[in-house]
Structure 1
Amino acid sequence: MVIYTQKETLIQALSFAKKKDKIGFVPTMGALHEGHISLIKKALEENDLVVVSIFVNPTQFDNSADLKKYPRTADDDISLLKKLKGEVIVYLPEVSDLYEDSVSVKNYNFGGLANEMEGKHRSGHFDGVGTIVNKLFRIVKPNVAYFGEKDFQQLQIVKKLVSIENLPIKIVGCPIFRELNGLAMSSRNKRLTAKQFEEATIIYKTLKEVKEKFSSTSIADLNALVAERFLQNPIMNLEYFEIANEKTLKTAKRKNKASKYRAFIAAFAGEIRLIDNMPLN
């Protein structure tokens, strides 16, 4: 495993590899867990070498306190990656290496995808995501890039980004990796107390209940059911629950047999924000 901290040296190293190797890419913000590792293992299975970036991107945070408290565990991350079998290259840059003199974002038109759910609650978030992912894609120039479905809206945004920027990269979405209690694995889980970790399973349990009742229950009644479940929980505060069209991410008010739907939840355990989703049909 080789670690690069500067894009120029990484670009130079990869320029030789591109001539003979298929390159997979897994962008992360560090604080790696088994969910990340599952993405990297899949990438290693399907490519000759894999680049893993570890970078906490400041432009996708709309809350400066959240950015400051986001877990940074580079040493542990490197130790975890060293255990993997296969050729892994790590890109571990400083902010200045990616943004140089100006920490600014590019404004994108994602065709409405960015206006739903997370876009409603995190101003500018997806412009920040698009900006950094585009920068990373142009540095690494991978054949394939891997993203987890926990951030399903982000996955759809990245697919749109590749189209907008006309990049020859295949985007692969990978299943959500879960804790034993069902909670979607997230770097933010490390900040939860034992009690919060236990109570946060309401997110997964509620999504499962919605999935089980989806065919026989109206969307309005499912919305009411979810609100009631969270009102009964003294630890978790619901920010939003939405059933949306999987392709457009538009909020659904009634069902159409020809459409695929997915349920999305964002909730707080204290000040820690957690998200999850689940396909319904």
Structure 2
Amino acid sequence: MVWTRLWPCFLLAVALLVQPGSSSAAAETTLTIVDAKGEAHDFPIDTLLAHPDADTIMVTGDPAYGTDSPRYRVIPMSRLLAGIPVEGADILMATALDGFVAQLPAARVLSSDPSGAIAYLAIEDPAKPWPNLKGKDVSAGPYYVVWINPKLSGIGPEAWPFQTIRLELKESVAKRYPAILVADTLPADAPARRGLALFIDNCFVCHRMNGGGEATIGPDLNLPMNPTEYFQPAVLPRFLRDPSSVRHWADQKMPGFAADVLSDRDLQDIVSYLAHMAGRR
């Protein structure tokens, strides 16, 4: 589910835990990259701005700024990670200032094939700060993973983590967090199995499941209770689609999921996954 701070995931609206000030670049200017061997590499912002592969581009479909997207100073992710050990990594995990954690497929992030989406690291120059996010007093900086031609590879808004400060090359989510997996006995075409994949792509960025996960924005979705245990079956999908049609609360940050992000079937499959996991604590 899409909780990207502009598309929050779906159970509780939580205030952003960001550094104060008009630009996050003033608070954090060093990017940490942890390679597949577990070694950390720190890159000061001045070094990244002067990177030999740095360029200035415009992007379309920018989830953070929409049609007001600024021109970004960027480095292709394939070039940023060149020379850093990546062998054995399935995921590039991007952690943001507010606790948002995106699990990006490493093969896609590292690809430079123009027939698919191309990932870039956008760098906010402290001397030329980006605009504040809509309704916020912070920008999308200091670092923002952006994409060219995202639709060619089915890249959704959750794969655009902004306010990023750390990138880590990791094993697959399934290997790291077996407690989130469905039962082995489920058929390959079970809705809950498909719902698990949707959950990882869209919900795991903000929520944990059975204590597994890294995100800190939203609550665990199975402990102590599962949402299927306190939402009526007909109401939960409606809540996911349009939270304001079910309830209003102060500082609401959960606008719901457009059909071009998650279809009705997607929502039902996620609900099936949650219902299945209610019996797997």
Please indicate, yes or no, whether the TM-score normalized by the shorter chain is above 0.5.
no
The one of the two structures with greater contact order (alpha-carbon pairs below 8 A, sep at least 6) is: 2
The structure richer in helix per residue is: 1
